[in-house]
């Protein structure tokens, strides 16, 4: 190996006392395979071994602005990565698969009327993100959950119990927008496009620094299809793609469903907290009636009695009851005479309960369909 270095030096770095003929002789010795002691000496004198000059590494580029940021922020703001820059530029040309919603103050979690313990479960899940460094110091939490900012919440329960409002409250609490996935834009009839759109939804949420919101998530995360259907393979692949993106995502995901039992079993372990939203009790229904009738001077009704008679109705139902009663009480041309009475509210409660009974099949209007002999 020393002879090879000597030949290179003779040819490309000759000193003043060395001639081209000497360089040629060095190459001849290399070609002839003679590796005597003379071939291992420098022209500067006997016994001097060749020591190649060390190559100094190139200094790494540094950005003072990024160096001053905490680790998570530095990663998010790393514009030195050309692949990241190219992908962000490409996102502008990709189709939109969701809606970016800016939460308002009215979405505050403190204003929600929920069963005791529900708000605390939500806040505990969010607090785990805020104290991540302390959890790492005491519990080495990264061994259990490598993703630093990951938090997946599943809100389940009947319609109208406040799941969507709670998702907006989560985004407001974190000071982030809410990226609500639009399934009509995600699901495609073309093979492979649905999986592509699922990945795009997660990229969009990351790009906007938003909470990813999967409303009615069971439509994409229902149990695997095992029948001999032509679309079974595609459906299962899309579900697997979504679960893989959930594993990789380093943000907050809120999922809601009215059909918790339809979820695929593999999803359950990926969710940190499953939080149940139940129908309101009588005390909560009275609070909801008072909340949705904001001018008590124009309300002539016993809300406690109405709350007792509205069992089985959701918060969404009570909102509609109050709106319909307000419209009924505002028919007079003179606004000074507008008034909501107990009879108006009771009539709307009866209508809402009748609609629910008919929808569930307990009403008398159900028709039997079949063949006769």
Quick one: pLDDT at residue 227?
A: 54
pLDDT tens digit sequence for 134-175: 988 999 888 887 777 789 999 999 999 999 999 999 999 999
The arithmetic mean of pLDDT across residues 100-123, rounded, is 93
Gap between the Cα atoms of 116 and 135, Å rounded: 27
CB neighbours (10 Å) of residue 224?
12
Smallest Cα–Cα separation from 253: which of 343, 171, 314?
A: 171
Quick one: pLDDT at residue 235?
A: 78
pLDDT at 67 over 50: no
Torsion sign, CA atoms 190, 99, 215, 217: positive
pLDDT tens digit sequence for 218-268: 888 776 655 556 566 777 888 889 999 999 998 999 999 998 888 888 888
Instruction: Write down the mean pLDDT value for the chain.
Output: 80
Quick one: pLDDT at residue 41?
A: 47
Quick one: pLDDT at residue 66?
A: 37
Query: Any idea where the domains of the chain sit in the sequence?
Result: 2-40, 83-276, 282-359
> May I ask the CATH architecture of the domain 83-276?
3-Layer(aba) Sandwich (3.40)
pLDDT tens digit sequence for 1-17: 555 556 556 555 555 44
Look at 31 and 198; give whichever has higher pLDDT. 198
pLDDT tens digit sequence for 273-324: 999 999 999 999 999 999 999 999 999 999 999 999 999 999 999 999 999 9
pLDDT tens digit sequence for 188-205: 888 788 999 999 999 999
The arithmetic mean of pLDDT across residues 57-62, rounded, is 48
pLDDT tens digit sequence for 314-350: 999 999 999 999 999 999 999 999 999 999 999 999 9
**In this structure, are residues 129 and 252 in contact, taking their beta carbons and an 8 Å threshold?**
yes
Assess whether the region 83-276 and the region 282-359 belong to the same CATH fold.
no
Q: Which range has highest mean pLDDT (61-65, 109-113, 235-239, 369-373)?
A: 109-113
CATH value of 282-359 in 3.40.50.970, 3.30.360.10, 2.30.30.100, 1.10.8.60 = 1.10.8.60
């Amino acid at each position: 190996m020393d002879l090879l270095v000597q030949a290179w030096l003779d040819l490309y770095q000759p000193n003043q006392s060395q001639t081209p003929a000497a360089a040629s002789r060095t190459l001849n010795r290399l070609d002839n395979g003679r590796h005597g002691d003379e071939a291992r000496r420098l022209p500067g004198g006997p016994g001097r071994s060749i020591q190649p000059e060390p190559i100094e590494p190139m200094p790494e580029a540094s950005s003072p602005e990024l160096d001053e940021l905490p680790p998570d922020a530095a990663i998010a703001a790393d514009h030195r990565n050309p692949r990241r820059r190219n992908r962000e530029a490409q996102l502008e040309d990709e189709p939109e698969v969701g809606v970016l919603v800016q939460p308002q103050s009215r979405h505050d979690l403190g204003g929600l009327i929920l069963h005791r313990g529900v708000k605390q479960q939500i806040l505990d899940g969010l607090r785990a993100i805020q104290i991540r460094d302390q959890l790492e110091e005491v519990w080495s939490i990264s061994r259990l959950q490598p993703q630093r900012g990951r938090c997946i919440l599943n809100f389940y329960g009947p319609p109208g119990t406040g799941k969507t409002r709670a998702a907006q409250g989560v985004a407001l609490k974190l000071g982030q927008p809410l990226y609500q996935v639009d399934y009509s834009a995600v699901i495609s009839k073309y093979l492979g496009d649905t999986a592509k759109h699922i990945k795009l939804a997660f990229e969009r949420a990351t790009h906007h620094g938003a909470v990813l919101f999967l409303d009615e998530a069971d439509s994409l995360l229902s149990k695997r299809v095992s029948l001999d259907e032509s679309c079974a393979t595609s459906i299962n692949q899309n579900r697997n793609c979504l679960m893989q993106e959930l594993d990789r995502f380093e943000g907050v995901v809120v999922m809601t469903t009215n059909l918790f039992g339809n979820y695929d079993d593999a999803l359950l372990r990926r969710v940190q907290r499953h939080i149940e939203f139940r129908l309101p009790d009588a005390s909560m229904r009275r609070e909801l009636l008072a909340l949705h009738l904001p001018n008590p001077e124009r309300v002539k009704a016993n809300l406690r009695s109405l709350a007792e008679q509205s069992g089985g109705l959701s918060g969404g139902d009570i909102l509609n009851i109050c709106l319909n009663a307000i419209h009924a009480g505002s028919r007079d041309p003179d606004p000074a005479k507008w008034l909501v009475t107990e009879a108006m509210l009771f009539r709307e409660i009866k209508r809402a309960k009748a609609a629910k009974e008919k929808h569930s099949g307990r009403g008398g209007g159900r028709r039997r369909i079949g063949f006769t002999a």
